[in-house]
Amino acid sequence: MNKLIQNQGLNLVLMGLATVPAFSQSKDVKRPNILFVAVDDLKPLIAAYGDKIAVTPGMDRLAKEGFAFQNCYVQQAISGATRASIMTGMRPDKTRVWDLVTDFRQVNPNAVSISEHFIKNGYESAATGKIFHMGSAGPGHDAPSWTMPYVNVKVATYANSTPDKGKKGPALECADVPDNTYQDGLAAEEGIKLMNQLKEKGKPFFLAVGFIKPHLPFVAPKKYWDLYNRDQFQIAPYQKKAVGSPEMAYHVSGELKSYTDIPQFDSYSEKELEYLPVDKQKELIHGYYAATSYMDAQLQKVLNELDRLGLAENTIVVLWGDHGWHLGDHGLWNKHTDFENATHACMLMRGTKGMLQNAKPTTQCEFVDIFPTLCDLTGVPTPKYLDGVSLVPAMKNPTVQLREYAMSQYPRSKSMGYSIRTKQFRYTVWIGDYYSAEKPFSAAKIEAVEMYDYVKDPLETKSVIGDKAYAKDEAMMKDMFEDAMEREHKQYVNYSKLANWQTPISTDSNKKGRKMGSIE
């Protein structure tokens, strides 16, 4: 198998050599600032990824002025785990965060967040909104990550509904209210205040602004709903399980069903009348787009302030949606799978003055690549133990391929589904007995295998495992997967020399140091 830059870079990391930044900074040049924008549940449904419907001028602007990474994939399609990986530059088996309740510092106290690393290299750091998952961040939204006090912008979820305490309300709301009625409007306002304060300090800064839409419930001011005509939306064309796929690849869309206006549908019933009604599907899709446009308008306010303050030319902007989202495909809603719609993510980046614009790098990449890339772009040393690679070569030449595949994973009870995605195929292996990269890979623990061909079958209608026409491709993907698992174990062993792993807070489902918890 040919080894790409991915493997070369990872080998250097393990050898402790990959610390030289691509762009060195002279002592008399101020390092670039970083505007780090986190978005909850954002699919790549914008023009830069081929969407023809979304009204998102803020993200469109970022893509035109910088980079839209076309093949970016998440580490795990759930907020707590994916954000822990983004913020530490390590995959879930090393962060030991696979759920919504584990604080990475409780189980991995020697880990360092990306903003904390930049603080150690002379940066001021501040945040507002959702950066880490709220239920798995320590006091002060992980206080070591910020030099200024974290600004919480918690506000009532609805403008016109008041659910009972501890209960959810409707999945949608269209209210004729100002932007700052909802949380993202306040996050933009607080982010702008922090930006002004950071400018006054005169040091390079790392400013994180977190938006929670388009996460459920799909609430947004009426003007954003009015951007769309519901008749323009089409429901997912394939709403069944893939032929030959295992049951554990799916879930029952429990997150969506917890809202009061959602019937207790059965996507997998043999009776179509028991599916989520088409009208409700279209309403939800409309709500998702409206919430996305609402968030985008808040992003525009932050970007405009960056311009007004004269900071844009020396500020790197990175925007990421923490994972994808199912909008009815396979009968699924929400995230929580290894399928394409849950793992394929939106990742935009705008460099400093003089870098390429309107570029669409095609390399396979992962969220763990953000940490080393920002180090490379700012001249900050890159930690030796990171799992990702710098994307700078692909930012210089968007046709460069840095990885043969991207890797994701998702747990189901005692099993973990590890998935590798090449340009053409996805190969997913479900491994039982609470397996993680702590142990060498063992084929004896495999419970199920899936493989999809996205050139011939972009809707994942059939797993081609065992199909004679794909025998050579299957053998190639099997070899690639086994190489990946061997690499993961070696990196785990190397990192264990630095780590001081602790047992997570005990739960009834805690086994062998892995807390699965409720993941819907």
The one-letter amino acid code at 493 reads V
pLDDT, averaged across the chain? 92
Predicted TM-score of the model (pTM) = 0.93
Give the position of tokens 């006054």.
200
80 touches 99 (CB < 8 A): yes
| Largest separation between any pair of C-alpha atoms in the chain | 70
302 touches 128 (CB < 8 A): no
Sheet containing 315-321: which strands, arranged edge to edge?
67-68, 347-350, 315-321, 33-39, 205-211, 124-129
Give the torsion sign (CA, 169, 508, 131, 143).
positive
Q: What are the tokens at 270?
A: 């043999």
Q: What are the tokens at 368?
A: 């763990």
Q: Show contacts of 255-260: CB within 8 Å, 24+ apart.
A: 255/216, 255/333, 255/334, 255/336, 255/520, 256/171, 256/216, 256/284, 256/333, 256/334, 258/168, 259/168, 259/169, 259/170, 259/171, 259/216, 259/217, 260/163, 260/167, 260/168, 260/169, 260/170, 260/171
Q: How many residues does the chain have?
A: 520
Region 192-218: mean pLDDT is 98
Interacting residues of 213 by C-beta distance below 8 A, sequence separation 6+: 39, 40, 182, 184, 219, 220, 291, 292, 294, 295
Phi, psi of 480 (to 5 degrees): -65, -40
Q: Using the predicted structure, report yes or no on whether residue 146 has a pLDDT greater than 70.
A: yes
41 touches 321 (CB < 8 A): yes
User: Does residue 72 sit in helix, strand or coil?
Assistant: strand
Pairing of strands 344-345, 333-334: unpaired
Question: For the stretch 396-435, what's the b/e string if a residue is b when 16 or more beta carbons lie within 10 angstroms of its beta carbon?
Answer: eebebbbbbbbbbbbbbebbbbbbbbbeebbbbbbbbebb
Q: Domains of the chain: which residue ranges? A: 5-15+32-396, 406-495
pLDDT per position as a tens digit, 356-411 = 999 999 999 999 999 999 999 999 999 999 999 999 999 999 999 999 999 999 99
Interacting residues of 520 by C-beta distance below 8 A, sequence separation 6+: 251, 252, 254, 255, 334, 336
Q: Using the predicted structure, report yes or no on whether residue 106 has a pLDDT greater than 60.
A: yes
pLDDT per position as a tens digit, 20-52 = 455 544 454 689 999 999 999 999 999 999 999
The one-letter amino acid code at 494 reads N
Q: What local confidence, expressed as pLDDT, does residue 4 receive?
A: 55
Q: What percentage of the chain exceeds 90 in pLDDT?
A: 86
Q: What local confidence, expressed as pLDDT, does residue 32 receive?
A: 98
Q: Using the predicted structure, report yes or no on whether residue 309 has a pLDDT greater than 90.
A: yes
Give the position of tokens 């990872």.
10
CATH of 406-495, one of 2.40.50, 1.20.1260, 3.30.160, 3.30.1120: 3.30.1120
CATH architecture of the domain 5-15+32-396 equals: 3-Layer(aba) Sandwich (3.40)
